[in-house]
Amino acid sequence: PDSGASYFLPRLVGYHKAMELALFGDRVSAAEALSLGLCNRVVPDDQFEPAVAEWAGRLARGPRAVGWIKRQLNRGLERSLDEVLALEAYHQEIAAATEDAREGIRAFVERREPRFTGR
């Protein structure tokens, strides 16, 4: 395995399945990749670009906290529970002070979709 597969694959599918995939090199169908957690979604070829555009649009319209969420989850793989809890508390404090947080609360109370601005 290369490109980090020795690190990532056992964490995604478990040690034994990773060993099977690496030793035998069998093809993995889209359905099996989905069930193993190697991908989040499977779409037909002709729907790939629209599906990517839809997810990218959702992320772009998301709150400023999206970046903090990514950072927390990435660091959560390498840190202790106490460290992760401290990082979460830090990001929660920062996020709560944003315009996006206020907009999210208003939208929830008004039962409408939020309009985040990234501020």
Instruction: Say whether pTM exceeds 0.95.
Output: no
Domain residue ranges of the chain, discontinuous segments joined by +: 63-119
Per-residue pLDDT of the chain (119 residues; tens, 9 = 90+): 888 889 889 989 999 999 999 999 999 999 999 999 999 999 999 999 999 999 999 998 888 888 889 989 988 888 888 998 999 999 999 999 999 999 999 999 999 999 999 88
Q: Which residues contact 63 (CB under 8 A, 6 or more apart)?
A: 95, 98, 100, 101, 103, 104, 114, 116, 118
Q: Which fold has domain 63-119?
A: Lyase 2-enoyl-coa Hydratase; Chain  A, domain 2 (1.10.12)
| 15-21 long-range Cβ contacts below 8 angstroms, 24+ apart | none
Confidence at residue 28, expressed as pLDDT on a 0 to 100 scale: 95
Handedness of CA 19, 20, 22, 27 (dihedral sign): negative
